A and B are shown apart, each in its own frame.
Chain A
Amino acid sequence: MALELKDIQKSYREPDGTELPVLNVEHFLLGDTEQMALVGASGGGKTTLLNVISGISSPDRGSVTLDGTNVTRMPEPMRDRFRAERIGFVFQTFNLLQAFSALENVLLGMSFSGRKVSRTRAKELLEHVGLGGRLGHKPAQLSIGEQQRVAVARALANKPSLLLADEPTASIDVANQENILNLIRKSCEEEKVALLLVTHNLDIAQQFGRVEQLAEFNKVGGQS
């Protein structure tokens, strides 16, 4: 299994002091190299779920197991390292560091893992996403679509076992959405990476073999 969630609970404390339960997931599985689309209403907790999976946020209860390793119990520095090596991230927008060129953004993704930084692999990945000729361009010199491509290359740089994509096509013009989506899906397939992609675009979701509504397995608001 690439990913297994057990009894995950997460709530936020609102400014007025009341508890806002966001996640309550009894059990969730994602197979190795499996690709899945997660849909759900805005504010439903999709981003929170991804953060809990990646270890950026800790759940109040329950456990996250990645590649057979219980991430929740790890001390934070180890979890960070684990994230660097096993998880790729693509956000909706502003994925890249402005001061770094496309190539440097990819190299940066490599430098936080314990593995060797490989310029060759970084270049190959950028060529693969169609940016072989723009290695030295800064994000400001790239279109949003191109920036997303760099983000995809960077997410795959460390050969992770899971790629988390949080509405990666939402900011891109319709004509390009399909391209980016295909790029992500094809790359994950080639690199043998499991994919959990959040979207509110049903056209996109429908292309996945597995589509799930967050609300269906996230029993918050007294439904549990």
Chain B
Amino acid sequence: MNLFSIAFKSIKQRLLTSTLTSLSVALGVMMMIAVLVIFGIVDRTFNQQAIGYDLIVGPKGSDLQLVLSSVYRIAPAIETLPYDYYQQLKNDPRVEEAIPITMGDVTQQGGFPVVGTETTYFLREYAPGKKLLIRGDGFREAFDAIIGAEVARQNGWDIGSQFTLVHGGAESDCHHDEKFTVTGVLKRTGTPNDRTVFTHLNGFYAIAGHETPVEQMVKRYREFFRVIPGGEKDQELKDLIKQAKEEEAKSHGHYHGPDSTVMKDVSAIFLIMKAPPGESAATTSILFAAQVKKGFQAQAVNPIFPMQRLMTQFVGNIRQVLLALTIMIIVVSGIGIFVSIYNSMADRRREISIMRALGAQRTTVFAIILAESILLCFAGGVAGILLGHGLLFFVAPIVEAKSGLLVDPFSFEPIELVLLPALIVLASIVGIIPGLTAYRTDVAKNL
């Protein structure tokens, strides 16, 4: 019989107390695992490396909101930019590629965010060195859709599936009648793309109810581009309104607005910049962003910075606080184990003396008590790790629905490997005092 099997016997002898103390460790560890895994996922999701664009151009407002809405699709879009601005950026010599997106709708089934974009979206790397892989034909017609892997899994959709959209926003029940058809399924990426439904920009514009009155669009257009009164563009816009009014009067309410790019807008534009010879794209980006800030009613954001700010100032601190709390819970559980073993020592003097009489050394009985403490902590730790991942299994869908974060319950954090050795250290500290009591037991007195 080795020390651990001897220790295990006395744990079994006091099964209720042992289970409860071990369970308290398990609960602490469980919470720690949950915190570690969730924050690990947050970290990886929001890691700056995971964004493959140099700049994100969006309406003026919070840069963080722009990134969270356009890249992570977990915040509402701020406002919109004129489609012509996208055209302008696309033709800018400093820009390698401009990818427009529109947002605002969600799928009726599952409430997945719908992003209208161009095929170029799928051709660029979404993260350095990583490209989106599509199974299926991709966009062919306006009402084609490419869906993320998680959308496919959760909604049970595949190529050929048809679905409808609802207008985004919490209690909105504004249904769109247009039926979209899945023509492509993305391979899992571990990014927000997995839970996004992509439609073609044209499909998005074709949805009835997405149009804004001409006057309003023109007003915004004028403000955005600072159209000079009396100029060529001014006249063109005036004509547009006039023409629209005439058409509307003729159509008896079936008119959906003029067919002009002035009527179109986008939520954000992803930019990949050209790197001038001998320089990096980063330099171009900085200069370009500064210029956008001055010139138009827009902002160009390097997604790294707001995310870093979010991670270090906010997420990082919360993680720190939660980890400190779970560590405290585990330490308190450790003290619980100490109290339980220490209290049992009085009843065990006789048993310890018998073992000594049978030839057990002082160090042996010390080690048996220590082994008991280690077993309780270790069992609690293992149970806690299992419970932690089990808990994630249940909260993953909730977290996902509430925040859009994809939580893999079996995502393993390397730090979990340190957890068990750390628990053994804790157990050893906790076991020292009862162990010394065993060590010092006066055998002759207790036989």
Residues of A within 8 A of B (CB): 47-48, 51, 54, 56-57, 76-77, 80-85, 87, 89, 91, 94-100, 104, 107-109, 111-113, 117, 154, 158
Q: How many A-B residue pairs have CB under 8 A?
A: 76
Complex Cα distance A109/B364, Å? 13
**A77, B2: Cβ atoms closer than 8 Å:** no
Q: A94-B350, A99-B9 are in contact. Are A108 and B1 (CB under 8 A)?
A: yes
- Interface status of B10 (Cβ within 8 A of chain A): yes
Kindly identify which residue among A76, A77, A97, A111 contacts B354, using a CB–CB cutoff of 8 Å. Answer: A97
Residues of B within 8 A of A (CB): 1-2, 6, 9-10, 12-13, 350-351, 354-364, 443-444, 447
Q: How far is the CA of A56 from the CA of B447 in the complex (A)?
A: 10
Docked complex Cα distance between A47 and B12 (Å) = 33
Which of the residues A51, A77, A85 comes within 8 Å of B361, measured between beta carbons? Answer: A77
What would be 27 A-B contacts, judged by CB atoms less than 8 Å apart? Answer: A47-B447, A51-B447, A56-B356, A56-B443, A57-B443, A76-B361, A77-B363, A80-B359, A80-B364, A81-B359, A81-B361, A83-B358, A83-B359, A84-B358, A89-B357, A91-B357, A94-B350, A96-B354, A97-B354, A97-B355, A99-B10, A99-B12, A104-B1, A104-B9, A109-B358, A112-B359, A113-B359
Please judge, given known A-B contacts A83-B359, A112-B355, whether A100 and B9 are in contact too, CB under 8 Å.
yes
Q: Taking CB as reference atom, which chain B residue is nearest A86?
A: B359
Given A56-B444, A108-B355, A111-B6, 8 more contacts at CB 8 Å?
Answer: A54-B357, A56-B447, A80-B361, A94-B350, A104-B1, A108-B358, A109-B358, A117-B1
Query: What are the residues of chain B within 8 A of A108 when measuring CB–CB?
Result: 1, 6, 355, 358
* B2 / chain A contacts, CB cutoff of 8 Å: 111
Once the chains bind, are A85 and B351 in contact (CB under 8 Å)?
no
Q: Which of B1, B358, B362 contacts A76 (CB 8 A)?
A: B362
Given A56-B443, A57-B444, A94-B350, residue A112 in contact with residue B9 (CB < 8 A): no
Complex: A98 Cα to B12 Cα, angstroms: 11
Greatest chain A CB density within 10 A among B2, B13, B357, B362 is at B357
Residue among B9, B443, B444 with most chain A CB within 10 A: B444
Option from A84, A97, A112, A117 in Cβ contact (under 8 Å) with B351 = A97
Interface centre among B10, B12, B359, B362 (most CB of A within 10 A): B359
With a cutoff of 8 Å between Cβ atoms, the chain A residues found around residue B443 in the complex are 51, 56-57
Q: A51 to B9, Cβ gap below 8 A?
A: no
Question: Which residues on the B side are within 8 Å of A96 (C-beta)?
Answer: 354
Q: Given A85-B359, A107-B1, A112–B364 Cβ distance below 8 Å?
A: yes
A98 adjacent to B354 (CB under 8 Å): no
Per the bound structure, the CA–CA distance linking A205 and B354 in Å amounts to 26
A residues within 8 A CB of B356? 56, 80
A48 contacts which chain B residues (CB < 8 A)?
444
The closest CB in chain B to the CB of A113 belongs to B359
Closest A residue to B6 using CB positions: A108
Residues of chain B lying within 8 A (CB to CB) of residue A47: 447
A54: chain B residues within 8 A (beta carbon): 357
Give the docked Cα–Cα distance between A125 and B10 (Å).
Answer: 25
Q: With CB as the reference atom, state the residue of chain B lying closest to A94.
A: B350
Which A residues are CB-close (under 8 A) to B351?
A: 97-98
Note all chain B residues with C-beta closer than 8 A to A94: 350, 354
Contacts of B444 in A (CB 8 A): 48, 51, 56-57
The chain B residue with its CB closest to the CB of A160 is B359
Q: How far is the CA of A158 from the CA of B357 in the complex (A)?
A: 13
CA distance in complex: A105, B447 (Å):
16
B27 to chain A, nearest CB (A): 26
User: What separation, in Å, do the CA atoms of A94 and B446 have in the docked complex?
Assistant: 11
Chain A's closest residue to B9 (CB) is A99
Contacts of B361 in A (CB 8 A): 76-77, 80-81, 112
CB of B375, distance to nearest CB on chain A (Å): 14
Does the CB pair B13–A98 fall under 8 Å? yes
Kindly state the separation between the CA atoms of A48 and B362 in the bound complex, as whole angstroms.
20
Contact status A91-B447, CB under 8 Å: yes
Q: Is the CB of A84 within 8 A of B359?
A: yes
- Nearest CB on B from A185, distance (A): 21
Instruction: Write the nearest CB–CB distance from A164 to chain B, whole angstroms.
Output: 9
The 10 A-B pairs of least Cβ separation, nearest first, read A84-B359, A99-B13, A112-B359, A99-B9, A111-B1, A80-B361, A83-B359, A112-B360, A57-B444, A77-B361
Cβ A80 vs Cβ B1 within 8 A? no
What's the minimum C-beta distance from B16 to chain A, rounded to whole angstroms?
A: 14
The answer for the CA separation of A82 and B361 in the assembled complex, in Å, is 11
B358 touches A112 (CB 8 A): yes
A143 to chain B, nearest CB (A): 19
Cα distance A87–B357 in the bound complex, in angstroms: 9
